[in-house]
Chain A
Amino acid sequence: MTATGRVMQDAFARVSAGQGTLIGAARAAQDGTMPDLKALGLSTTQHST
């Protein structure tokens, strides 16, 4: 969860500077987490909106 949280927090920082939205940050966290999980060989599915 640490890595996911970090990507999300980086995106939150950008939101505070006026770039992007909170839900964009959540999506960015998901897009940044999926490769990590796949790299570990975990079976993953995702639901993206």
Chain B
Amino acid sequence: MPGRHSRRSVLAAMAALPLTGAVSACSSKAAGGARSTGGTTRIAFWSALRGSQEVVDAFNRTHDRIQVDFQQIPSGGQGGYAKLSNAARAGNAPDVATIEYPQLPGFASDGVARDITALVGDGLRAKLLPQALGLTTFQDRVYSVPLDVEPMVMHYRTDLFEQYGLQVPRTWDEFAGLAHTVARKAPKRRLVLFPTDGATQFAAYSWQTGAHWFDTSHGAWNVSLADAPTRRVASYWQQLIDDDAVFMNAVDNRQSDAQIADGLVLTRLSGAWDAGAQMKARPAQQGQWRIAPLPQWDPARPYVGTHGGSTFAVTKDSRHPEAAMEFIEWQVSHPDSLRARLSSGTSSQYPAATALVAVGRKAFDRSYYGGQDIYRLFEQEAHKIRDGWVWGPG
């Protein structure tokens, strides 16, 4: 009878489906995880950072017990973090993942980033800037290793400052006055942009002022996004916005690119890394930009927050955490790693490993910034990074 025959074949087909699913899961697990073939440990590494391929090549050339399989992924906001979360959920996350500071608490509590306190030796600890390591440590447990730490600085158009006879502001009061002056003298230009897609910039301003948006010191997450320092920052910028003394639009879009390219905006408040990004994006503006410290509320007690910066975590799925840690330590603290990364093009990454600052300074091409030694500036600013800031787990 036709019914009986088709039922048997249907049952056979249904039984085959979970098996094919299991087989594909097994093979993808092998591809994503680590394989140990006769002494050489292979570990998987995902990153969106520029220059990572060069770094991995340099590592693979000089190490034979460990070989790294690198995969370039989109940057976090463009789907990189979703990719990492999904891979972790499926159980085949890479051994080493790149996670920026604001996203680390979330990945740590999700269990994607494993607790590597035991793997981070005292030697490595000593090499890293304490403020940077503090941002990757929760409840005295370390969840990732900082690669770079990016204090927020003020990039400014020195040629336009000269043209309009402006002084580089050292305090926020001076900055506000300057904003009004610019709006008056050059009606189409503004001193700065307040980015509507810039929660991290706003966080950095609040951090500098002493805010503690998230606090874990009492055994629970204390959430306080509207505390007194934040209110101070908010009313400061609100005043500038209400007076139409600053631009207010998204920074990650064409409008902002046009504002910078056409010289409509005179300063950019962003992390140290933006010096290199600017060089790459607008080579024609060579010589027109300089970098100054971020304005302070009180010059006698200077602080800054960070904007940007990445860390490396060993994932829970990793089957070779020691090998992964060895790769991370090399990438974070070895001069060859930084040289390889900088060789790929324009980067002004400020390393969290203090010994590498000299390497970065030497490798960086200063002609764009008129010969200014921006790494020395970054070093000064990095020591002003305020303690006690915690990013949220959301």
Contact = CB atoms under 8 A, between A and B. Distances in A.
B221 A45 contact: yes
Interface stretch (B48-56, B146-154, B224-232, B301-309): B224-232
A4 B200 CA distance: 10
B234 A12 contact: no
Contact of B220 (A4, A6, A26, A44): A44
B40 interface: no
Contacts of B195: 12
B223 interface: yes
A2 B391 CA distance: 10
Interface string B208-229: 0000000000111111111110
Interface residue range, chain A: 20 to 34
B200 A29 contact: no
A47 B224 contact: yes
Contacts of B391: 1
B60 interface: no
Interface stretch (B18-26, B235-243, B372-380): B235-243
Contacts of A8: 199, 202, 225
A43 B202 CA distance: 26
Interface string A17-49: 000011101110110011011001011111111
A22 B227 contact: no
B223 A46 contact: yes
Contact of A37 (B81, B103, B198, B394): B394
A23 B197 contact: no
Contacts of A15: 196, 241, 248
Nearest to A34: B223
Interface residue range, chain B: 35 or more
B102 A49 contact: no
B221 A47 contact: no
Contacts of A44: 220-223
B249 A1 contact: no
Nearest to B81: A2
Contact of B234 (A2, A21, A33, A37): A21
Contacts of B393: 1, 37, 40, 42
Interface string B99-114: 0001101100100000
A20 to B, nearest CB: 10
A7 B242 CA distance: 22
B225 A12 contact: no
B231 A47 contact: no
B74 interface: no
Contacts of A4: 199, 225, 392, 394
Given A26-B234, A29-B199, A46-B222, 17 more contacts: A1-B103, A2-B394, A4-B199, A4-B394, A5-B199, A5-B203, A8-B202, A12-B198, A22-B241, A26-B230, A29-B225, A33-B223, A36-B394, A42-B393, A45-B221, A45-B222, A49-B231
7 A-B pairs closest in CB distance: A5-B199, A43-B220, A1-B102, A23-B234, A47-B224, A30-B225, A22-B234
